[in-house]
Amino acid sequence: MVLDEKRAGLALELNDTVIKNMSMGATFKDYGGKVNSLDFHRNDDLLVTASDDESIRLYDTANATLLKTIHSKKYGVDQICFTHHTSSVVYSSKNGWDESLRYLSLYDNRYLRYFKGHRDRVVSLCMSPKNDCFMSGALDHTVRLWDLRTAVCQGLLRIRGRPAVAYDQQGLVFSVAMEGGAVKLFDVRSYDKGPFETFLVGGDAAEVSGMKFSYDGKLLLLSTSSGLVFVMDAYTGRKLHCFTLEPNPDGGVLEASFSPDAQFVIAGSGDGTLRAWSTLSGAEVACWTNNAGVPACVKWAPRRFMFATASIALALWVPDLSKLQKAEDGLPS
């Protein structure tokens, strides 16, 4: 199945109508456990997932096909992200005794490097968009900065509570969220001098469980353990919108994601629904109920009209071209 709107001869522009007419273009239901993390490659049509069944799976998103499955039975697998190479990833353990990060070649299933230092589970992991640096935040109340070229930790930040980390899309700034709703922004080149800005989310959002910058760097998206999702001005810290989700019944994190143009936010809710909002108006644009379980993992593909959701199954969502054609012709869908 080809998930490509251009090949279908329909020139799309992301708007409310397109969002409302997104549907599952492909699903993969052969997981033996919950999918706990997924990531799109920045420059290629590839998606990688990590699952509680101790598998790492690589997909071709242009053709909706599974390319490879690798098992990490000794260490388990939790947080995962692509490096800049199309066939290598960094991932965290999920076995309760070894909290090392692993740099894995998917091409030949070979570990290229281990990154040791964390004393508790890694709950946040992100790769710099510009170079070989990456960050990890763990329940040992530390954020560590790494470089793929060396196993030696490049920097250490001690924080309060559960950390969430994110790079901006220019690779010049990174943010760290911590206990008490504090979000601290650091200059990548001089992070050792401390944050250049601190925002306080406060209130019920005291535990930020996930964080992302928009592609233009102007907005910051915060997911919280209480089910609140905030869109903030990344320069001033002003709250622009607050969206409410049902908390995940199993206590897990609910991920939210910007569309590439930052016009929309998509997130899964604890009641099993998937929701989309406009970042311009703050209004809910769409709500889908046909999900397998709670769609806790949500990411938008950087290069396509596509986003992925995952729970006990993986779904790739694309515009329903027949419905869009009817909408364009003024016909009921």
Total domain count, the chain: 3
| Domain annotation covers residue 24 | yes
Boundary residue ending a domain (207, 241, 275)? 241
Q: Based on the domain organization, do 151 and 180 belong to the same domain?
A: no
Q: Tell me: do 137 and 187 sit in the same domain.
A: no
44 and 152 part of one domain: yes
Contacts of 30 (CB under 8 A, 6+ apart): none
pLDDT of residue 203: 60
User: In terms of domains, do 181 and 154 share one?
Assistant: no
Q: What is the model's pLDDT at position 10?
A: 43
* Each residue's pLDDT expressed in tens, for the chain with a length of 333 residues: 334 444 343 456 889 999 999 999 999 999 999 999 999 999 999 999 999 999 999 999 999 999 999 999 889 899 999 999 999 999 999 877 789 999 999 999 999 999 999 999 999 999 999 999 999 999 999 999 999 999 999 999 999 889 999 999 999 999 999 887 889 999 999 999 999 999 988 665 558 889 999 999 999 999 988 889 999 999 999 999 999 999 888 878 899 999 999 999 999 999 999 999 999 999 999 999 876 789 999 999 998 899 999 999 999 999 987 777 666 666 555
Give the angle 228-29-70 at the CA atoms, nearest 5°.
95
- Range(s) of the domain holding residue 70: 33-158
Do 71 and 112 reside in the same domain of the chain?
yes
* Boundary-marking domain end, from 158, 190, 211: 158
164 occurs within a structural domain: no
Residues 143 and 198 in one domain: no
Please count the other Cβ atoms lying within 10 Å of the Cβ belonging to residue 209. 23
Say if residue 125 is in the same domain as residue 104: yes
pLDDT at position 200: 85
* Whether residue 144 is found in the same domain as residue 47: yes
- Domain-embedded: residue 81: yes
Domain's final residue, options 189, 214, 241: 241
CA distance 5 to 320: 9
Q: If you write DSSP's letter for every residue of 63-102 in order, what string do you get? A: TTEEEEEEE-TTT---SEEE-SSTTEEEEE--SSS---EE
- Sheet containing 197-200: give its strands across: 164-167, 173-178, 182-187, 197-200
Are residues 236 and 251 located together in one domain of the fold?
no
Tokens standing for residue 107 = 């091409």
- Percent helix / strand / coil, the chain, rounded to 5: 10, 45, 45
Q: Please indicate, yes or no, if residue 165 is contained in any of the structural domains.
A: no
Question: In this structure, is residue 281 part of a structural domain?
Answer: yes
**Shared domain check, 286 and 228:** no
Same domain, 151 and 66: yes
Q: Quick check: helix, strand or coil at residue 114?
A: strand
CATH of residue 286: 2.130.10.10
Residues 214 and 199 both lie in one domain: yes
Is 332 inside any structural domain?
no
pTM equals 0.92
* Residue 291, in any domain of the structure: yes
Supply the DSSP string of 243-309, one letter for each residue. EE-PPPTTS----EEE-TTSSEEEEE-TTS-EEEEETTT--EEEEE---SS---EEEE-SSSS-EEE
Amino acid identity for residue 147 in this structure: D
Q: Does any domain span residue 21?
A: yes
> What is the domain-level CATH number for residue 189?
2.40.10
